[in-house]
Amino acid sequence: MPELTPLPAHPPLRLALGMWALAAAAYMAGFFLRVTPGVLNGPLMRDFHLNAAQLGNLASFYFYFYAASQIPTGIANDRWGPKALIVFGTLLTGLGTLLFAAAPNYAVALVARGMIGLGHGVAWVSLLEVSARWFAPRVFGTMSGLSLSAGTLGAVLAQAPLLAMSRLMGWRWTLAGVGIVCLVLALLAWRTIRNSPHERGYRDWLPSHAPTSAREVLRGLRAVWRWRNTALLFVAPSGICGAFLTFTTLWGAPFLEQHRGMSGERSSWVIAAMLVGFSVGSIVWGRLSDRLRLRKLPYVIGGTLTLAGFALLTLWPQAPAGLLLPVLLASAVGAGSMVVGFAWAKESVPQDLAGTATGVHNTGVMVGALIQLPLLGWVLDALWTGRSLAGVRQYELHAFQMAFGVLMVWVAVALLCVLLARETHAQPHAHASQRSR
């Protein structure tokens, strides 16, 4: 009787965490770089001689390339695994950061921001893929929350700590150091990360599957828009999350400093608190949605909180700090409800289109910010009265009110889309993909 070969064990937790930690560090570095224009808005406007629209475009170049990379990243992960994407993305992020640090003019800085956005654009999907392959399915939700928290930590470090380092060493040397860290992370990822446990002699958590062809992806992209929720849930995060990203990435700090009398350090801590609130909110709303088996209600409550924050900024920007700051924090927590949309989008289409729906939804998350960042800059420039301070344009309060009014209207439209979307009750779609709704 032939001897049965025992199946290998699943990978130990310590090894799995090591794989995840490197991927999470790369994601965190990219998140750090995403929000740097808000902290460095003064030096960037002065050194590159920028107006608000140009600064907004500089910040949004990251989002253009980030959004464009989402669906190709899913195909590449199927074909080559997350390791290649993490190494490539972190290397490109590092090179883009070094180029930005040395940029002699605005045009080169735009190219560098595009490189950073493209490099970081592959990080989130690849990090989730590492989590899915190296951890048991029952903890995937936990690992997803931890992954988002790692990114948020990067954004928090890009507030007061970045401001302090830039004042000590100059913003160019500070970002050059971040670029070198990214290159080191890329080398460590190349040497350490493996696509699946079997490459280290352990049992895989996920069964192997044939890679999805580009033709199949394009067919799915056409098909997924036949379901009404796809379009509604594409627009929803562009407002509810997009307004939050636009405020925390760039335009929140100048407003707080120019019209709320805050120092650079204090305004950066306010932004950091909002980022933490967003991270906590995403975990709370996601958990609440799963427990209630409802998608619409948590999203509506969160979106309403976000709308209240931007309504206050628009209609009463000089509200007492004891009111304004808690409302801003609540609006950030509310924006975290956008995480419900990922599950909702997957449940709104047949299961064979769920992955495509997720990619489309994730693109919608970024569309708001990539349009709003330069749009708000254009509004501020159109209302600029000619006042400058140390080479940095100063904008009147009514200009910020008009700019935040754009965000308020966008959030209101997004909230309406949430209200119009069909509730799925946390259940997968029951119909075949041939049938449309």
What pLDDT, on the 0 to 100 scale, is given for residue 329? 97
Residue 48: band (very low, low, confident or very high) from pLDDT cuts 50, 70, 90? very high
Which residue would you say has higher pLDDT here, 365 or 337? 337
Question: For residue 164, with 0-12 CB atoms within 10 Å meaning exposed, 13-18 middle and 19 or more buried, which class applies?
Answer: middle
* Residue-wise pLDDT tens digits, 215-248: 777 787 788 898 999 999 999 999 999 999 999 9
Average pLDDT, the chain: 88
Residue 209: band (very low, low, confident or very high) from pLDDT cuts 50, 70, 90? low
Percent of the chain with pLDDT over 90: 52
Q: Stretch 39-53: mean pLDDT, rounded? A: 91
* Residue-wise pLDDT tens digits, 6-38: 657 888 889 999 999 999 999 999 989 988 988
Taking domain 214-437, whether its CATH number is 3.40.47.10 is answered by no
Which residue would you say has higher pLDDT here, 312 or 437? 312
CA angle 253, 176, 371 (to 5 degrees): 40
CA angle 199, 201, 202 (to 5 degrees): 100
Distance of CA 136 to the CA centre of its chain: 25
What pLDDT, on the 0 to 100 scale, is given for residue 97? 97
**Cα–Cα distance list, 401 to 310, 347, 404 (Å):** 10, 38, 5
Residue 343 has pLDDT above 90, yes or no: no
Percent of the chain with pLDDT over 70: 93
* Residue-wise pLDDT tens digits, 181-192: 999 999 999 999
Q: Stretch 260-285: mean pLDDT, rounded? A: 90
Q: Stretch 117-130: mean pLDDT, rounded? A: 88
What pLDDT, on the 0 to 100 scale, is given for residue 200? 85
What pLDDT, on the 0 to 100 scale, is given for residue 314? 97
What pLDDT, on the 0 to 100 scale, is given for residue 335? 95
Query: CB of 214 within 8 A of CB of 75?
Result: yes
**Cα–Cα distance list, 3 to 6, 201, 202, 365 (Å):** 9, 20, 20, 54
What pLDDT, on the 0 to 100 scale, is given for residue 437? 43
What pLDDT, on the 0 to 100 scale, is given for residue 6? 60
Residue 59 has pLDDT above 50, yes or no: yes
- 413 half-sphere exposure, CB direction, 13 A CA radius: 14
Task: Supply the CATH classification number for the domain 11-199.
Answer: 1.20.1250.20
What pLDDT, on the 0 to 100 scale, is given for residue 430? 65
Query: CB of 392 within 8 A of CB of 52?
Result: no
Residue 106: band (very low, low, confident or very high) from pLDDT cuts 50, 70, 90? very high
Q: Domain spans of the chain? A: 11-199, 214-437
What pLDDT, on the 0 to 100 scale, is given for residue 287? 81
Q: How far apart are CA 160 and CA 244, in angstroms?
A: 19
3-state secondary structure (DSSP) of residue 393: strand
Residue 129 has pLDDT above 60, yes or no: yes
Q: How far apart are CA 55 and CA 150, in angstroms?
A: 27
